[in-house]
Amino acid sequence: MKKRRLGKSELYVTEMGLGAMSIGTDEKEALHIISAALDEGINYFDTADLYDYGMNERIVGKALKPYRDSVIIATKVGNKWNENKDAWSWDASKSYILSAVKDSLHRLGTDYIDLYQLHGGTMEDNHEEVVEAFEQLVKEGYIRYYGISSIRPNVIDSFARKSNIQTVMMQYSILDRRPEEWMTILKENNISMIARGPVAKGLLSEKMLEKASASVKEKGYLDYSFRELEDTLHKLREIFSTRSMNEIALQYILSHDVVGAVIPGASSVKQVKENAQAVRGERLTDEEVELIKSLTKLNKYEHHRI
């Protein structure tokens, strides 16, 4: 599998990483999924301290321990479970970040984290303090590089100007093209986008509308009514009839050079293999990319500017 460089870092990740949030808590099955990803040549694994109360980090760390020198592990910080573990709160303070990283390292069973990401954030956070914390962790060798996971343009703009972030993780798919609004600023600052949610909750998989939830059927998806969704997906399916929907979905994202990797989640070995095959598929031509753009909406982030 081809690799891309994340930002200005020395991290070269496979074009597809594994988003570990969906691997579940059945350790045996989760290890099968991670093993399948390794077999496909994937070297980039993304988790978070929030997922399954830290169990996700433990499983990922255990599975990757024999391969630690050849894989890139990314995790996230900022969301803190309460004592009852029935709700979490946001904490982007320097003291919390410096404390939480130790817990993540312990759960992952590693001495360092390749990419440590702020798991959200608003303009009310002290961004300078966040950057101080990350820079201190780099200096102390606990993390190699850092980034943010955010859909808030003002937050992205602030960190792009004030810090040495290498990545911004954003939900991005053919049906959610909002990140395209911010590709220029990422390119100008040599920051890579990590694309999560690339198959739009399964709507861009082979099952298409079979994966539509009751909410999507009633309210649509982002700016699309359900009828518009039906029309758009059927047009894509008709035009690209010789290729899988997964392939079109993932290749569209990878056609943008600011994207460092797509990280589809997987709850089965089959999904890992299907997505890996899609990433290895034929690249879209410039004409095909423009055709997809003409059939879809360029959503905007107007409701997420705080």
How far, in Å, CA of 153 to CA of 165, rounded? 15
Q: Determine which one of 44, 51, 116, 221 is catalytic.
A: 51
Residue 245: what residue type?
A: M
**Start-end of H helices in the chain:** 27-39, 55-64, 94-108, 127-140, 153-162, 183-188, 214-219, 226-239, 245-254, 269-279, 286-295
How far, in Å, CA of 50 to CA of 38, rounded? 24
How far, in Å, CA of 222 to CA of 233, rounded? 14
Coil, strand or helix at 8: coil
The verdict on whether 51 is a catalytic residue reads: yes
Coil, strand or helix at 56: helix
How far, in Å, CA of 81 to CA of 254, rounded? 34
Residue 44's CB is within 10 A of a number of other CB atoms, namely: 28
**Residue of 149, 274, 269, 152 lying closest to 202 (CA atoms):** 274
User: Are 222 and 231 spatial neighbours (Cβ–Cβ below 8 Å)?
Assistant: no
Catalytic residue set: 51
